[in-house]
Chain A
């Protein structure tokens, strides 16, 4: 027996609902042109996944936490390379290389990120492989309805985020003159440290390992607060350099070498060091700009312009926020295991108001 079909006819929340209600264990694979994602379930609850099976998103998240030593990371990668049934996260767990609570939090967040990413797929095919194991099952399980609800909440706010940062190819730069004294959290500072005027948002997301939503939302917030600027137009440093260059003909100073901003060449995320090792971006240290011999060519602005949009926010044909009541169903799994063969009773959360709504709804069909 196979469970497979098209996301056009059967949406991801519906599939989740089905798998949750029937307490399935296995891997739900989603494929579309050039992309392959997977979500693993155990007795109907989500235990992990990846929106791109070709990338080690969870391992990147562990790296991004800055709490995993090089030795532990290398050992985990070695084990995962030699044993397909064990992923980096589980290997890290088995080695006790990361605090269990921290690991669980990261896996839990990763599950939501994965579902959020997959919900943005406008189309695709799905297939469910019964009993396929999750190589990174570290003992975390999230109820389907909670995860879908959270992912949907993120989708709703994603429109605002995408309006500020329209594409993963967007390049951000530091604002030379922020509107007020910046106040930053450590996470925000870590993000700023990765902004170099060349690295794309997608690359920053990859380096942080914290998932599209968290990173892009935080970057959008920094843009809104005037600490970062998107690529269009001259950035603050360029403007400063240009204005200083106006003084050149009054100053008898040998022209300096062309301003070669000390920014690293954009590299693939895989080649990048951990964020903690990045030099901190000089937010307020632009005190002695070198004067270029010629005015800066505005056309060669550091920031490329190409607001290629993110994948459009998915608008499910059915706006229902799925399975809250399934919590009772799926949540009963543990209880069912503890107390064999309980008699099925009426769900206590069902009340008359709900029933009257159902009746009105069915009448109106």
Chain B
């Protein structure tokens, strides 16, 4: 297919992906911070996971934060059920980094997160943070347990959060943005 491009100055759009196990709170997190009605492609659940929630994301969630007139941050949420994992690579392309959201109140959520993180690490060399949703009552020991389970390097932030709280979600995004800055600085230093 012939492409006839006419480049003109355009604004900038950047993308952050929110991934994580089924029912970790990804859609909620994006809805909490997005300035638009989040486009969620949800379907009713018919399998055994229905006991956890009624609907699940089957393709993606899509939210937006306008930073400035010429700068927009898009949030893409991945489907939680692994039979939709073909979407991950599509959604991940061009991303700044990603948030791995885990339901800290459920052991199985952490176990699912292990596989998802392995897949993302294999797929993408970009910074990420781990968000621990529903993390009330967690202590340092719990965080260490998460780090161990996910085999996280020390520089990877683990941020307790509440996906329904705007300030908490902001903290997660800021942690990721700072991680990207650090990554950029490291890359620059390595080149020098």
Contact = CB atoms under 8 A, between A and B. Distances in A.
Nearest to B15: A21
Given A9-B37, A357-B67, A343 B13 contact: no
Contacts of B33: 365
Interface centre among B71, B91, B124 (most CB of A within 10 A): B71
B73 A362 contact: yes
Interface stretch (A74-82, A245-253, A265-273, A318-326): A318-326
B41 A3 contact: yes
Nearest to A42: B1
Interface in A328-346: 328-329, 332, 334, 336, 341, 343-346
B12 interface: yes
Given A347-B94, A362-B65, A354 B14 contact: yes
Interface residues of B, number: 63
B73 A363 contact: no
A146 B6 contact: yes
A148 B9 CA distance: 11
Contacts of A341: 89
B69 A332 contact: no
A365 B64 CA distance: 12
Interface stretch (B18-26, B101-109, B139-147, B171-179): B171-179
A349 to B, nearest CB: 8
B55 to A, nearest CB: 13
B66 interface: yes
Contacts of B3: 45, 140-143, 334
Interface in B44-75: 58-60, 62, 64-74
A344 B91 contact: no
B13 A108 contact: no
Given A324-B13, A329-B15, A105 B4 contact: yes
A52 B41 CA distance: 28
B71 A21 contact: no
Interface stretch (A10-18, A115-123, A156-164, A218-226): A10-18
A324 B11 contact: yes
Given A149-B10, A324-B10, A354-B14, A362 B183 contact: no
B33 to A, nearest CB: 7
A104 interface: yes
B8 A21 contact: no
Given A320-B71, A350-B14, A1 B174 contact: no
Contact of A145 (B1, B10, B36, B124): B10
A1 B74 CA distance: 22
29 contacts: A1-B43, A9-B37, A14-B62, A21-B91, A23-B90, A47-B1, A104-B2, A108-B4, A108-B6, A141-B3, A146-B10, A149-B8, A149-B10, A149-B11, A153-B8, A319-B66, A324-B12, A344-B93, A344-B94, A346-B125, A346-B126, A352-B181, A352-B184, A355-B180, A357-B71, A358-B177, A359-B174, A361-B71, A362-B174
Interface of B: 1-15, 33, 35-37, 39, 41, 43, 58-60, 62, 64-74, 76, 89-96, 123-127, 166, 170, 173-174, 177-178, 180-181, 183-185, 187
